Structure 1
Amino acid sequence: MPDMKVIPNEFSFNAAISACEKGGQWQLALSILNSMPDMRVIPDEISYNAAISACEKGGRWQLALDLLSSMADMRVIPDEISYNAAISACEKGGQWQLALGLLSSMADMRLIPNKISYSATISACDKGGQWQLALGLLSSMPDMRVTPNEISFSAAISACEKGGPWHLALGLLSSMPDLTVIPDEISYSAAIGACEKGGQWQLALGLLSSMTDMRVIPDEISHNAAISAFEQGGQWQLALGLLSSMPEMRAIPDEISYSAAISACEKRGQWQLALGLLSRMPDMSVSPNEISYSAALSACEKGGQWQLALGLLSSMTAVCLRTLLLRLCSCSPTP
């Protein structure tokens, strides 16, 4: 039989671009998209959406916007998926102004924003420190007949945690069940973080304990936020107790957990406990960092343990030099 020459069509191209998008190969996705006209295959909205999403996952928000704007030149009409991928790309790139612009321009394209559109834009405002805008977007969703979900709420709570009043974060968390939205560990972690920044360690403790009542399992982020709240409130006993209980909750302590607990001990002059935590970190497969050493060093200084402080300073210098060398090696081009 003669060889059958298979001619690629839009379905095969779209499948290839989608595979690149899922594999994080944004360069290859763009290359395939750009090669389609040469093969006499016209890209459609599916082709562009997959390519924009590939750029979004690769952190290339400029390319994602370029693709979105070039769709009209190819007589391809963007849809909600196109805009959502572009907004998500702007969100990952910290471009909250562009995300807001894309959201507002959807109406000009006769497109209705959905939960993904709003959640990504709220998250962009959160990353940009625009907590007022984040709250405004969340409150406007019902007017647009879009019901907020846990992602929308979590992003807004996180925005309040970073810049807004702590009581607004708690208000958002408590209002979620009224809209039949179940808070998850991300929602609780952000609210606990807001309490930590507001100096409300009692409320942070209450939120952490209420998670199990809501059948939400606290993770490392939840525990770390609570330990930091205890540290800010000078509650070193609670900080140590929570640190030791983390493995029972299947939450693995990391350098943030230990650094916050060491700092809690440092603030109350518990230099022996601070040193004990620092020395325990390698046994728990956690490498002490500059923050851990600095807190332990300060604890020794407050306790008048200058000899121990000198020893820690020497160890800290070695760790910093090692970290710097590793960073330099990772940045060096491979031959």
Structure 2
Amino acid sequence: MPEARVVPDEITYSAAISACEKGGQWQLALNVLSLMPEARVVPNAITYSAAMSACEKGGQWQLALNLMSLMPEAMLVPNEITYNAAISACEKGGQWQLALKLLSLMPEARVVPDRITYSATISACSKGGQWQLALNLLSVMPDVRLAPDTITYNAAISACEKGCQWQLALNLLSLMPEARVEPDEITYNAAISACKEGSQWQLALHLLSVMPVASVVPNEITYNTAISAFEKGCQWQLALNLLSLMPEVTLVPDEISYNAATSACSKGGQWQLALNLLSVMPEVRLVPDTITYNAAIGACRMGGQWQLALNLLSLICNAAISACARAASGSWH
């Protein structure tokens, strides 16, 4: 730009930093910010907010908070975008206490929290296993004239799921239509996962069945979670049925799908089916892992097939030895 006799200003730099943020290049965003004083361009609140968002996306919560702490020195007042970026950074970094602290500081700074602020803080509490705090934040939103949206409810339901509060998760899901909020696949996935954690396979099956009625399309995560719910409930037939349905709905089963189904067969004493699943994985370009083999060996144990169990164990050992040999050969060369 200088060669073209065009002088970049704070808008130019802010746009460049925002571009880096959208591209996931937090290091470049910070580098651009650091060049501004040299170019005699003063960063503004938008510049700092964009740089903080870049750090947030890059999982650099410490850097995001450091940038925020520098703003008063630059005679800049953080706004709701700044706080939202900082809280989101804390959420990504698993710092729920800091997220709550920032939220509590906003009124003192005369900054009004918005829906994004609350959603990010609820999500931070969810990640920190603080389901009570998440629900408390959700409950106070109407008091501050904020209407929770799908993202807010999803975060709260996920918090209940992590806290093994399946009843509360389902209650939140049931409240969404009344609040004129549309559940999406993330909502249902979290609710089904909550049912799985609570060993409520019937409810998980019900939620899966009502998704098409709600015009929500199940994805791989939905099916994997439901299969895992059936595995916990010792419903091997349902687990296998779901696994077989996935290709029909253009979903590709992955290692998680097969592991859960194999484990379901193991729990149901179906060692032949467990071994069959193990054998077809290479055909669908999936590599069995330790979890898969453990489930298959467990199935053989329950079926009294000790020879097959030992055979599977030897396969794992041979594979491990081969891997070590390849690694040693590579390092030698």
Counterpart residue number, 1:111:
111
Instruction: Establish whether residue 221 from structure 1 lines up as the match of residue 230 from structure 2.
Output: no
Q: Secondary structure at the match of 2:111?
A: coil
Q: Structure 1: how far apart are the matches of 2:130 and 2:25?
A: 32
Task: Write the distance in 1 (CA, Å) between the matches of 2:22 and 2:71.
Answer: 21
Give 3-state SS (helix, strand or coil) of 1:177's partner.
coil
Paired position in structure 1 for 2:138: 138
1:163-242 alignment, distance < 5 Å: 163-242=163-242
Q: Distance in 2 between matches of 1:321 and 1:224?
A: 31
Deviates more, 1:315-324 or 1:281-290: 315-324
Aligned to 1:32: 32
How many residue pairs were aligned? 327
Quick one: structure 1 residues 327 and 140, their matched pair in 2 at CA, closer, same or farther if it must change by over 3 Å? farther
**Cα displacement (A) at 1:324:** 8.4
The yes-or-no answer on 1:267 pairing with 2:267 is yes
Decide whether the 8 Å contact of 2:274 with 2:296 is kept in 1: yes
Task: Identify which range, 72-81 or 210-219, moves more after superposition.
Answer: 72-81
In the TM superposition, what is the alpha-carbon distance from 1:325 to its structure 2 partner?
9.5
| Gapped regions of structure 2 (runs ≥ 5) | none
What is residue 79 of structure 2 aligned with on the other side? 79
Paired residue for 1:277?
277
AA partner of residue 261 (structure 1): A
Structure 1 window deviating more from structure 2 (310-319 vs 113-122): it is: 310-319
CA contact (8 A) 1:131 1:164 kept: no
Asked whether the equivalents of residues 56 and 86 of structure 1 are also in contact (C-alpha less than 8 Å), the reply is yes
Residue 43 of structure 1, CA deviation: 0.1
Q: Residue 149 of structure 1 contacts residue 181 of structure 1 at CA under 8 Å; is this kept in 2?
A: yes
- Paired AA for residue 167 in structure 1: Q
Q: Which moved more, 1:246-255 or 1:115-124?
A: 246-255
Give the letter for the 2:145 counterpart. Answer: R
TM-score, length-normalised on structure 1?
0.93
Shift of 1:321: 6.4
Give unpaired runs (5+ residues) of structure 1: none
Q: Which amino acid aligns with 2:311?
A: G
Residue-by-residue CA offset, 1:264-320 (whole Å, 9 max, x unaligned): 100111000001111111222222111111000110111122221122112223555
Matches for 1:92-111 after TM superposition, within 5 Å:
92-111=92-111
Distance 1:83 1:52 in 2: 9
How far 1:250 sits from its partner (Å)? 2.4
CA RMSD in angstroms comes to 2.0
8 Å CA contact 1:289–1:319 kept in 2: the answer is no
- After TM superposition, the structure 1 = structure 2 runs for residues 320-335 of structure 1, keeping only pairs within 5 Å, are none
The SS at the match of 1:37 is: coil
Task: Indicate yes or no: 2:187 matched with 1:155.
Answer: no
Residue 28 of structure 1: CA displacement? 1.3
Preserved CA contact (<8 Å) 2:164 2:197: no
Distance in 2 between residues matched to 1:293 and 1:6, nearest whole Å: 64
Please give the TM-score of this superposition, normalised by the length of structure 2. Answer: 0.94
- CA offsets per residue over residues 115-160 of structure 1, 9 Å max, x none? 1111111111111111111111111111111110111111111111
Deviates more, 1:248-257 or 1:93-102: 248-257
Counterpart for residue 52 of structure 2: 52
The one-letter amino acid paired with 1:284 is V
Q: Per the alignment, do residues 317 and 99 of structure 1 end up closer, same or farther by CA in structure 2, a change over 3 Å counting? A: farther
Aligned 8 A contact 1:161 1:197 in 2: yes
The one-letter amino acid of 1:116's match is I
Question: Aligned partners of 2:118, 2:247: CA distance in 1, in Å?
Answer: 36
Distance (whole Å) between structure 2 residues aligned to residue 166 and residue 4 of structure 1 = 62
> What is the CA–CA distance in structure 1 between the aligned matches of 2:113 and 2:321, rounded to whole Å?
50
| Deviation by residue 1:239-262 (Cα, 9 ceiling, x = unmatched) | 000011012222221111111111
- For residues 314 and 226 of structure 1, do their structure 2 counterparts lie closer, same or farther at Cα, with a shift above 3 Å needed? same
**Cα distance change of structure 1 residues 321 and 113 upon mapping to structure 2, 3 Å threshold:** farther
Question: Which AA in structure 2 matches 1:155?
Answer: A
